[in-house]
Amino acid sequence: MTDTESGTGRSRNSKHDTPLWDEDKVLALLELPFNDLIFKAHAIHRQHFDANEVQLSTLLSIKTGACPEDCAYCPQSARYQTGIKAEQLMAVDDIVTAAKNAKRDGATRFCMGAAWRNPKDRDLEAVVEAIKRVKAIGLETCATLGMLTADQARQLKIAGLDYYNHNLDSSAAFYREIVSTRSYDDRLQTLDFVRDCGISVCCGGIIGMGETRIDRASLVVTLANLPVYPESVPINMLVQVPGTPLHGAEKPDAFEFVRTIAVARITMPKAYVRLSAGRDEMSDELQAWCFFAGANSIFSGEKLLTTGNATVAHDQSLFERLGIRPQTE
């Protein structure tokens, strides 16, 4: 069994000055009494961040549907009947307009997502232009376009891309249950290309796909033990879409979700831990627990690619009630 398959990940360098993690250590954290775990995570969070500040990102689908892959959670797969209409790559002017609206609503980072297995070079030209123009209005830029070659990663870096999102989704052991068209090592290879050319990494996973606590621990171990752990770690709760194989999966326990946020904070103390997909189905109380446990980033806006999200107005109301401020830079 390889290091990746066992979930131990890769050897780390010392950029973030944190120890190596193994599955036993992370499981021990997950099994702590809830109050002890959350107290530990919150204390670490306060060492590195303002505990009452949350970074806002906005995610836009710039090319929707007709993806050839078989990710069991994804409504954009061409293999499933989900009612998603395939659309061509958006015009750059329309992308920039959406970015301006996101900035008006308080976002400091704008993420562009395309339903590709891997982008063709001709498609990348328009994405590069969009990155340049979005940066020009004063936003951080992020893209999630599928697998990249080393040369494509360099092109995105030259364009000024700040972050590249490429989630591992799950533990290596559970991964084969949800995706067969792209290997775990394929995902890690793209992360290497992105990191090697100097783009910050955004990488996390999905909770609620039928994985076990051991799988969740293994995912965290792999992320934390990357050569440099991701600067941004999205933790998603599965959004169940009719027509996808995971529709009808048992929903995860809310406290288990908070525990996962907490161990991400403890093992990757300087990362932005993003409370991502599924927020529109979460209670305000659950979100508040996640913020206390170390989540300090959200996706803002009423849609995440093709699924719903909490409204901007609701987020503003929740922040006001909690005394949370959006990060301004």
**What residues are labeled active site?**
67, 71, 74, 111, 142, 202, 274
CA 63/CA 272 separation, integer angstroms:
26
- Alpha-carbon distance values, 163 to 195, 240, 311 (Å): 10, 27, 24
Q: Contact 260/43 with Cβ under 8 angstroms?
A: no
How many Å is the Cα radius of gyration of the chain? 18
User: Percent helix, strand, coil in the chain (nearest 5)?
Assistant: 40, 15, 45
CA 322/CA 93 separation, integer angstroms:
37
Helices (H), the chain: 3-6, 23-30, 34-48, 92-104, 121-136, 150-159, 172-175, 184-196, 213-224, 254-267, 284-293, 312-322
**Letter for the amino acid at 319?**
F
Length, in residues, of the chain: 329
Q: Which of 282, 228, 230, 224 is nearest to 255 (CA)?
A: 282
**Letter for the amino acid at 157?**
K
CA 269/CA 263 separation, integer angstroms:
9
Output the six-digit token pair for 134.
């979005």
Other C-beta atoms within 10 Å of 250: how many? 8
Please name every residue paired with 60 in a beta bridge, in sequence order, or none if there are none: 112
CA 205/CA 199 separation, integer angstroms:
19
